[in-house]
Amino acid sequence: MYPYIPHTPEDEREMLDAIGLKSSSELFSDIPEDVALNRDLNLKPSMSELEVKSYLNNLAAKNCSTSKMTCFLGAGAYDHYIPSIIDHIISRSEFYTSYTPYQPEISQGTLQYLFEYQTLICNLTGMDVANASLYDGGTAIAEAALMAASVARKDEIIISKTVNPQARRILKTYAHNQGFTIKEVEMKDGITDLEELESMVSDDTGAVIVQSPNFFGIIEDLEATSQITHKAKKAAVIASVDPISLGILKKPADLGVDIVVGEGQGMGIPLSFGGPYLGFIAVKKNYMRKLPGRIVGQTEDVDGKRSFVLTLTAREQHIRREKATSNICSNQGLNTLAATVYMVTLGKEGLREVALQSTKKAHYAFEKLIESGKYKPVFDKPFFKEFAIKSDIDADKIIADLRKEDIIGGYHLGIDYPQLNNSILYAVTEKRTKEEIDKLSSVLEGI
Amino acid sequence: MRDYNKLIFELSKPGRKGYRLPPLDVEDKDISEYIPEEFINENELDLPEVTEVEVIRHYTNLSNKNYGLDTGFYPLGSCTMKYNPKINEDTSRLDGFANLHPLQREDCIQGSLQLMYELQESLCEIAGMDQMTLQPAAGAHGELTAIMVIKAYHEKNGDTQRDKIIVPDSAHGTNPATAVMAGYKIIEVKSTENGLVDVEALKAVVGDDTAGLMLTNPNTLGLFEKDIKEIAKIVHDAGGQLYYDGANANAILGHARPGDMGFDAVHFNIHKTFSTPHGGGGPGSGPVGVKEHLAEFLPVPVVAKDNQRYYLNYDYPNSIGKVKDFYGHFGILVRAYTYILTMGKDGLKKASEMAVLNANYLLSQLKDDYNLPIDGLYKHEFVLGGLKGDLLEATTLDVAKRLLDFGFHPPTVYFPLIIREALMIEPTETETKETLDAFAEALKTIAKESKEDIEMLKTAPHNTVVRRPDETKAARNPVLRYEG
């Protein structure tokens, strides 16, 4: 017997009799002999819960987690504090064992938190409409770009080199398959070269993509980017933002941005070795009917009671098939709930304070690390919670030496930007203490 | 509590807080010392002010308005709503897995890489494939990845005139949507009256413009495509590739493998076949396996092993690139591997056997009252064609809504499109005979009601927290956010 399979031999016998079969193997008599697998799978035999747990405990123990080491690594995934309440709420099995809310009468829980999530994302970004989430920040950029280009009926997309390199690779993959042209704008002093952008934008441009704070943590001039982009007819500005930064930075909508996307991992979702995370997308009203993915709307039931349903489904694959706006079917459901609980629990004051503390601690760390002159700033521009410093010492050696002191060092920018060889990007969240930052500094000084 | 009908925004009161941070322990300069004022938002954030207690009560009350697998039977066809084992939730939350940054040094992440490597190997064996990528985020994303891999293969061969993907008319909506997203045109091929791919029709549409065929086996009707070898030969002879949509893989674990059927690429829906939670819509996971000739095109990185060292291999010069951030939905992959270890080779095979037994048994109990457009041996699911008789007044939608009153999640309705009034039922292996009997009894009662008390169906559901929300109104006058 297996813990998740309830049939007793008597059950099996009765059920086979009802079907009119002699044995369970006859259930597969429709699989032709030359296709059937007439041997056991080459896998381990089944195990007890105790054995499985012990095996996986051993694997997990081979990793060095952020609870055992001090994390100064970011580059798209951040070690922000996760309030206890979040895991308790997302562990309610009425939430996590349900599926896409196709039957609204018994899915009001899911539908309502998605509606609340959409509202919170709109309030944070200043945009008109948000969907119920996309896979992650990187694919959200790609989906936004394809949507913008298709609305503008143009096939050229411009992206800044200060956008996360990983996201740029995803965009290239998607764009290549749809026949879109991707052009990259150079950077200047760690931000998008707006003069070059201006020379590149033309009536062929469907979208301009920037990230702020950008991959180096620097705040980009979204307003100027929007003004340049909008000189081209119908071209959209797509901004990828860190939602935590919106605790202190101006709303993208107030800066002329048409489509806001981003990675929501920082809002209550564990690092979990890179996923699952949360992609968000929010748009100006004119893109509403072109959005990819699920959208929840408010309505009334037959008794006039406020209720929520999946809506604007005429965009989606299960209705439109090959004419759908995207092939996306799932959303990040449970992670959307985590982010929702994060935003409401921190609330008006809390999110601002997380952003302020992250900024202040990052700047303290920046000043501390460059104090002696051994390490130098790579850029001289206003930044949020990440900054780059360089030295003559090999970056891999620095990161290896930090690891010996139980510090997870920053990200070596030379991996993606050869001109930034031996520059390291450090991230500092509200979780880091002065003591930890001082230790990072003293270890670095000793290398 | 059923009547609880507040939004979190309606609980907000100025001054309430649900969080507390430690005092700032570095110098507290004004933010304008660091960031120019032109970038700073001077206004208050538009977020609610609530205490932790209110947040907990609010979402606990919302959860009570939800129906999950742990609430009851969830026979949603094509979604494989099998039990989500609790140990999976625990292992995915182990400190070493949950609190690991994806960009840490290789020597800090050996445990995760080993898990991914072993999962890749296990999935290759189950699928009959040679290499696997765990990167895709969900089923539809896996489809897209696989089709892009196939496209890269044709491009490398200079076969750029292959611009069409063939899909059966019974296919999931994601199949044609995916092929278009990968830049292809769609050719739909009709099914025979027995619900299988029409081999003659397929022969007529393949040619040197065929990039590939997307197929589910068993198909969306729950029937095994017994001519699969011939289908594969037709497509391969024309120079096309075969892609297997793994949505229905729960029917064949350890009994048959897509690789042996002739498929070149496969995706699995981890959240269906391998028991990870559906999470109210996600996150899922959609690994893709390929035969050797397609391996060079897989997205990077692929997890590899060199003696006892595991590493992320980016050395795939012909890779399609990246399809997602980092390496996939790792937290979901931990759950899936936990499940594979728990079930083992014997348990997985048994699971498929019992899934098929449950489907065929349930069908045997319903034949008398519901139309069965195609009679025969089904695999893990079957499709009914609405209520028997001429009572066209009682639709499949009415049946589904009335089922809610009996405490069951309804089956998938009106899909596949080729069956009128379709009810697509997938019980999965984790349900008892007693549950199936109770469900069959409810459907029989509804059949009886349709003849005796049609109003009971038309006005259903009667005892849910809301009753038939007005979807037309929602779409005509979209209210997509709370505006106070």
Helix (H) or strand (E) holding A438, with range, is: helix A434-446
The whole-angstrom separation of Cα B410 and Cα B406 is 10
Tell me: pLDDT of B88 over 80: yes
Give the domain B346-458 fold: Aspartate Aminotransferase, domain 1 (3.90.1150)
Least confident of A45-54, B50-59, B167-176, B225-234: B167-176
Please tell me the predicted confidence (pLDDT) of residue A313. Answer: 86
Average pLDDT over residues B273-301: 97
Query: How many angstroms from the chain centroid is the CA of residue B156?
Result: 31
Percent with pLDDT over 70 in chain A? 100
Tokens 């109104």 locate to B473
B31 touching A (Cβ < 8 Å): yes
The whole-angstrom separation of Cα A145 and Cα A155 is 10
Please tell me the predicted confidence (pLDDT) of residue A321. Answer: 74
A415 touching B (Cβ < 8 Å): no
Least confident of A14-18, A403-407, B357-361, B386-390: B386-390
The whole-angstrom separation of Cα B386 and Cα B380 is 19
Is the domain spanning B87-342 CATH 3.40.50.1100? The answer is: no
Which architecture, in CATH terms, is A70-82+349-446? Alpha-Beta Complex (3.90)
Reported as half-sphere exposure (CB side, CA atoms, 13 A), residue A248 has a value of: 23
Q: What does the domain layout of chain A look like in residue ranges?
A: 9-61, 70-82+349-446, 84-341
The three-class DSSP label of residue A28 is helix
Percent with pLDDT over 70 in chain B? 99
Please tell me the predicted confidence (pLDDT) of residue A320. Answer: 75
B173 falls in which pLDDT band (50, 70, 90)?
confident
Average pLDDT over residues B107-130: 98
Tell me: pLDDT of B312 over 80: yes
The three-class DSSP label of residue B305 is strand
Helix then strand then coil, in percent of chain B rounded to 5, is: 40, 10, 50
Q: What does the domain layout of chain B look like in residue ranges?
A: 8-63, 87-342, 346-458
Average pLDDT over residues A373-394: 97
Tell me: pLDDT of B262 over 60: yes
Q: Do B283 and A112 touch (CB under 8 A)?
A: no
Average pLDDT over residues A272-286: 97
How many CB atoms are closer than 10 A to CB A291? 26
Q: Which of A16, A46, A247 sits opposite B342 (nearest CB)?
A: A46
Q: Answer yes or no: pTM beyond 0.90.
A: yes
* Cα nearest neighbour of A175 on chain B: B182
B179 touching A (Cβ < 8 Å): yes
B281 touching A (Cβ < 8 Å): yes
Q: Do A5 and B430 touch (CB under 8 A)?
A: yes
A328 falls in which pLDDT band (50, 70, 90)?
confident
Q: What residues pair up with A237 in beta bridges, in sequence order?
A: A208
Q: Domain A84-341 maps to which CATH number in 3.40.50.300, 3.40.640.10, 3.40.50.10490, 1.20.1290.10?
A: 3.40.640.10
Q: Do A350 and B46 touch (CB under 8 A)?
A: no
A397 touching B (Cβ < 8 Å): no
Average pLDDT over residues B220-235: 96
Please tell me the predicted confidence (pLDDT) of residue B190. Answer: 92
B389 falls in which pLDDT band (50, 70, 90)?
confident
How many CB atoms are closer than 10 A to CB B87? 18
Interface of B with A in 328-357 (CB under 8 A): 328-332, 334, 337-338, 340-351, 353-354, 356-357
Reported as half-sphere exposure (CB side, CA atoms, 13 A), residue B109 has a value of: 24
| CB–CB contacts below 8 A, A to B | 671
Average pLDDT over residues A229-256: 97
Percent with pLDDT over 90 in chain A? 95
B484 falls in which pLDDT band (50, 70, 90)?
confident
Phi/psi at B179 (nearest 5 deg)?
-60, -40
The whole-angstrom separation of Cα B126 and Cα B259 is 9
Strands in A129-130's sheet, in edge-to-edge order, are A129-130, A279-283, A259-263, A236-241, A205-212, A156-160, A181-185
Tell me the per-residue pLDDT of A38-78, one tens digit each, with 9 for 90 and over: 999 999 999 999 999 999 999 999 999 999 999 999 999 99
- Best CA proximity match to A340, nearest among A179, A184, A164, A124: A124
Q: Do A98 and B67 touch (CB under 8 A)?
A: yes
Please tell me the predicted confidence (pLDDT) of residue B390. Answer: 67
- Best CA proximity match to A241, nearest among A337, A158, A355: A355
Q: Which of A250, A334, A350 sits opposite B39 (nearest CB)?
A: A250
- Best CA proximity match to A196, nearest among A214, A206, A208, A180: A208
Interface of A with B in 39-98 (CB under 8 A): 40-47, 49, 52-53, 55-69, 71, 73, 75-77, 79, 81, 83, 85, 87-89, 91-98
Q: Which two tokens stand for residue A41?
A: 């799978």
Tell me the per-residue pLDDT of B434-459, one tens digit each, with 9 for 90 and over: 999 999 999 999 999 999 999 999 99
How many CB atoms are closer than 10 A to CB B448? 11
B424 touching A (Cβ < 8 Å): no
| φ/ψ bin of B431: left (φ > 0), alpha (ψ from -120 to 50), beta (otherwise) | beta
Tell me: pLDDT of A318 over 80: no
What DSSP line would sit under A175-197, residue for residue? HHHHT-EEEEE-EETTEE-HHHH
Tell me the per-residue pLDDT of B371-381, one tens digit each, with 9 for 90 and over: 999 999 999 99
- Of B47, B55, B221, which to mutate for an interface test with A (greatest number of A Cβ within 10 Å)? B47
Average pLDDT over residues A414-420: 97
Q: Which two tokens stand for residue B444?
A: 């029989």
Please tell me the predicted confidence (pLDDT) of residue B199. Answer: 96
Q: Which of B60, B432, B467 sits opposite A303 (nearest CB)?
A: B467
Highest mean pLDDT among A315-329, A418-432, B390-404: A418-432
Reported as half-sphere exposure (CB side, CA atoms, 13 A), residue A324 has a value of: 30
Tell me the per-residue pLDDT of A154-193, one tens digit each, with 9 for 90 and over: 999 999 999 999 999 999 999 999 889 999 999 999 999 9
B3 falls in which pLDDT band (50, 70, 90)?
confident
Q: Do B85 and A3 touch (CB under 8 A)?
A: yes
> Minimal Cα–Cα distance from B199 to chain A, Å?
16
Tell me: pLDDT of B1 over 60: no
User: Measured at the alpha carbon of residue B308, what is the angle toward residues B302 and B314, in degrees to the nearest 5?
Assistant: 20
Average pLDDT over residues A290-314: 94
